[in-house]
Amino acid sequence: MEQFNAKQVKDQVVQWIRDWFEVNGKGCNAVLGISGGKDSSVVAALCVEALGRDRVIGVTMPNGVQKDISDSMRLIEHLGIRYCNVNIGDTTRTLMAAVKEQLAALGAEVSEQTTINLPPRVRMTALYAVSQSMNGRVANTCNLSEDWVGYSTRYGDAAGDFAPLGGLTVAEVIAVGKELGLPIDLVEKTPSDGLCGKTDEDNLGFTYAVLDRYIRTGQCDDPRVKALIDDKHEKNLFKLKPIPHFEL
């Protein structure tokens, strides 16, 4: 496999962002959620290089209290971008209570996945609200590894108008982050969904290193893990496709 050239790819993504905005949002701002993790940090830095810091707006969206909010603020200060803070805690609780009440009337309960996926969907609503009022385009911060196995929330973090990292694996995102000169602890931060208290790899059942190798080479030493990755990939392909519609 050809060695990954982080500088070359970084430059290519920066140009891709510029070209995309030229066609789809000339003069618009890039708006993105800033979690303090590697993906949002790298996307923010790429957008700053592509568009200039004055055209990048970060949005922090804690669900009540976010224990690592300082990482988000450090990234914002490092890049010198504008930002706003939209705490989704009250909205999420109110919405969940209403859903719970109505499900109970139907003889059902709120599922664990519903509880996990509601906050990212509320966050995306907030992002688009900010974006629409700030002449913006919303950046999707998912990477190829996450998308490959459907590790995202449909119409939550999987939404957006453009996806700079959609073709890069986790390892490649980290390499680009280092090339961009971002704080190393943010680039190498253990990925977590920030929702259920587990790391991404705990939830997935395999490491990103194994997944990245399989994506790029087709090689996986553990047949059980290969089967698990294939199963997740096949079941979640629909997330990456446009909504199917009837053709007259």
pLDDT digits (tens, 9 = 90+) for 178-233: 999 999 999 998 876 555 567 888 889 999 999 999 999 999 999 999 999 999 99
Whole-model pTM: value is 0.94
pLDDT digits (tens, 9 = 90+) for 55-105: 999 999 999 988 889 999 999 999 999 999 999 999 999 999 999 999 999
Under CATH, to which class is 6-197 assigned?
Answer: alpha beta
Residue 146 — pLDDT band, cuts 50, 70, 90?
A: very high
pLDDT averaged over every residue in the chain = 95
The number of beta carbons lying within 10 Å of the beta carbon of residue 145 is 24
The structural domains of the chain, with segments of one domain joined by +, span 6-197
